[in-house]
A and B are shown apart, each in its own frame.
Chain A
């Protein structure tokens, strides 16, 4: 599936970097390192109930969570909207997704639009995924709005 291809990873990294610049600029220098770490182990870091530990864990970095949320969004788009487009080549899909999420850079390739209901669903999905990754509700909402805002602009 396209989701598992190097092209997909490249798009996730690129989009994550742009979002990190807005949401967690202090991590900008570490994005590549954090994305590599995310791909090395894409599962969510489980907070263990350790009675002899510090007791209150916080999110070490937003980048892996952003990458995870983008990945979930791609899954959604591929599964829900672009089922038919799976027949097309991976490179083409990558271009379309990039165009969908980044209207200013990818003008050449027209992107496919999402309906308002699908946009709402995408927003909820990103927020839920970001919170599952340990992001604060407000920040997760902010991230979801930023991502969905990009799609809406294109649509």
Chain B
């Protein structure tokens, strides 16, 4: 057995975690979309956009409530249906693959799988196969809760005897899905996508078609109705484009989640000694694979060649994905729509409490008043929570991984920071497109002047502030990761990084984004003044914050020489995390590397 050092993909949160949360968020946005689209299709009173701003109390409630109820019902339905699909996946797989628990004659396969699982340090799964047959080599891990099952094709009966290394590699790969915690995430995502098809797409298409058919039918009969039908046609067309866009975004996230999990499972299988077996499979597959013209973003499985490359160069998985950056931008824009919806919900309920407050005295008055303020506080927390989540779950790990890659490749200097301008550009492009593509585009400019302002003033400022954020995070990540040695990444360092990232985003990026949405209309002057103040503060304070962070890192995390965790001697390396100890030759940053068992 030989051992080699490999970059630890699990030193940072898995990308699939972020993608899973992003998919849930995108499906909720689709549900909100459906509710509001149905409001238009069926002429539900009180479109949020047309509400009279002078309305108060129950007037507000009656105006907002129908659309809110529809959207909330759609969101509950999409998640509830997904849950049903998820719980049914095991029986569905058994039915489709015609598999049963292994019979007496196949018990050796079960015993071998148990052995591999125990060696890998995970609980042995149950195996299921078709009772007869020697064809096929596909394997699939599944199960709900603690039930861990691997479905195998009949060909595994032959593989075990003729190509044991390939047999082990396939089993290792499926076991790795269990070890990586993929099963719940992948099958719930799959269930969510099915649920979107049934609960969102189907009603939307039927509602749209019904609306068009009835409108045309009535329009043919009565001329004045035809005019009324043609009027909102433009709105409906725009709605259709926006709906398809959000749908494609959800599909891209879903496909990427399924693709990414395979790289992580391959990586772990290699760690358990299946490098040769996997390479054999992928090598054979590359000879067989025809060039696929399918749009790469929507591919559900990586190519054999991509998988082979990732096995040989796992550091390539540390490359920051600009698609994720773009998706993060889109979701940030979608969040504003979520916020808009939350505000409407709040106003709908606030209307009830407002009327109670206005018509009561004493304790009830203060209770109603308290509830209103509580609502505002909850709303604020939702915004902070969601944006903080997006920043620390999606963007932060991306930058951290890139920093590690730079350290390993010995890429230093300002050129790396300048390259981050591209990421900032893509992030803001995602945000801007997201504003145009969210339902009804309430935050997108609606005239040429607004559009020009957005492109030539707002967007460049946002790009610069986003760039500032990325440079700041890179700086912290570089200082904290490069000097971290030992088996685990320090909880304090991790906490500091997350806090600094969220605080910076909230002080110097999110306010700008928020204020820029109101640079038109009657409140232009107020928001313009606020924007100028924010920009001035950002320019002045951000530099101070940069210096302050540097000082904190120097004081608390980088204040004494690092000692090798193996021999205890002081190491003089400037970036010890990626180096070997100059005294004992052992890996200093054990959190960043793992040993691979070779065969």
Q: Which residues of B contact A52 (CB under 8 A)?
A: 140, 142, 186-187, 190, 258
Q: Which residues of B contact A57 (CB under 8 A)?
A: 136-138, 285
Instruction: Decide yes or no whether B162 CB sits under 8 A from chain A.
Output: yes
Partner of B307, one of A29, A33, A56: A56
CB-contact partner of A30 in B132, B162, B284, under 8 A: B162
Q: Which of A45, A52, A136 has the most CB of B within 10 A?
A: A52
Q: Is A105 at the interface (CB under 8 A from chain B)? A: no
List chain A residues, Cβ under 8 A from B285.
56-58
Residue B301 contacts which of A34, A37, A51 (CB distance < 8 angstroms)?
A: A51
Q: Are B134 and A33 in contact (CB under 8 A)?
A: yes
Q: How far is the CB of B139 from chain A (nearest CB, A)?
A: 5
Q: Does B224 contact A (CB under 8 A)?
A: no
Q: Which residues of B contact A48 (CB under 8 A)?
A: 138
For chain B, the bracket of interface size reads 35 or more
A34-B288 in contact given A56-B304, A60-B137 (Cβ < 8 Å)? no
Report the Cα distance A64→B170, complex, angstroms. 22
In the assembled complex, the CB of A82 is this many whole angstroms from the nearest CB of chain B, namely 31
Bound: A53/B285 CA distance, A: 15
Contact of A60 among B134, B288, B302, B307 (CB under 8 A): B134
Minimum CB–CB distance for B297 against chain A, Å: 14
Query: Would you give the 0/1 interface string for B259-298, flagging 1 where the beta carbon is closer than 8 Å to chain A?
Result: 0001000000000000000000110110110000000000
Contact A53 B281 (CB under 8 A): no
Q: B187: which A residues are within 8 A, CB to CB?
A: 52
B58 part of interface (Cβ distance < 8 Å)? no
Alpha-carbon separation in the docked complex, A112 to B202 (Å): 63
Greatest chain B CB density within 10 A among A41, A45, A49, A56 is at A56
A interface residues, tally (CB under 8 Å): 31
B120 at the interface (CB under 8 A from A): no
For A37, the chain B residues whose CB sits under 8 A away are 132-135, 154
Q: Given that A27-B162, A51-B301, A137-B287 are contacting pairs, would A56 and B136 also be in contact in the complex, using a CB cutoff of 8 Å? A: no
Would you call A30 and B158 a contact (CB within 8 A)? yes
The CA-CA distance from A58 to B167 in the complex, in Å, is 11
Q: In the complex, what residues of B have CB within 8 A of residue A41's CB?
A: 133, 135
Distance of A111 Cα from B304 Cα, bound (Å): 46
Q: Please tell me if B95 contacts chain A, counting CB pairs below 8 Å.
A: no
CB contact under 8 A between A60 and B159, given known A37-B133, A37-B134? yes
A64 pairs with B135, CB closer than 8 A: yes
* Per-residue interface assignment for chain B, residues 152 to 194, with 1 indicating a CB less than 8 Å from any chain A CB and 0 otherwise: 0111101101110010001001100000000000110010000
Q: Is the CB of B161 within 8 A of A55?
A: no
B300 at the interface (CB under 8 A from A): yes
Partner of B162, one of A26, A55, A136: A26
Q: Which residues of A contact B132 (CB under 8 A)?
A: 37, 40
Are A136 and B300 interface neighbours, CB within 8 A?
no
Q: With A37-B133, A51-B190 given, is the CB distance from A60 to B142 under 8 Å?
A: no
Given A56-B285, A58-B285, check contact A30 B161 (CB 8 Å).
yes
Quick one: closest B residue to A43, CB to CB? B135
Instruction: Report chain A residues within 8 Å CB of B170.
Output: 54
Q: Least Cβ distance of A107 to chain B in Å?
A: 35
The answer to whether A55 touches B262, judged by C-beta atoms less than 8 angstroms apart, is: yes
Taken together as a complex, chains A and B put the C-alpha atoms of A103 and B289 apart, in Å, by: 37
Is A61 in contact with chain B by the CB < 8 A criterion? yes
Do B158 and A34 have beta carbons less than 8 Å apart? yes
Residues of A within 8 A of B262 (CB): 55
Q: How far is the CB of B164 from chain A (nearest CB, A)?
A: 10
Interfacial chain A residues near B284, Cβ < 8 Å = 58-59, 136
Tell me whether A54 and B258 are in contact in the complex, defined as CB-CB below 8 angstroms, given that A27-B162, A60-B135, A136-B287 are known contacts.
no
CA distance A2 to B262 in the complex (A): 48
Q: How far is the CA of A56 from the CA of B279 in the complex (A)?
A: 11
8 residue pairs from A and B, CB less than 8 Å apart: A26-B162, A37-B154, A45-B155, A50-B140, A52-B258, A56-B285, A61-B134, A137-B288
Q: Give B residues with C-beta under 8 Å from A.
A: 132-140, 142, 153-156, 158-159, 161-163, 166, 170, 173-174, 186-187, 190, 258, 262, 281-282, 284-285, 287-288, 300-302, 304, 307
Known: A33-B134, A50-B138, A51-B300; 9 extra A-B contacts, CB below 8 A, are: A26-B163, A34-B158, A37-B132, A37-B135, A48-B138, A53-B139, A55-B302, A57-B136, A58-B281
Top-8 shortest CB links A-B: A60-B155, A51-B300, A55-B301, A45-B135, A56-B285, A53-B140, A37-B134, A53-B138
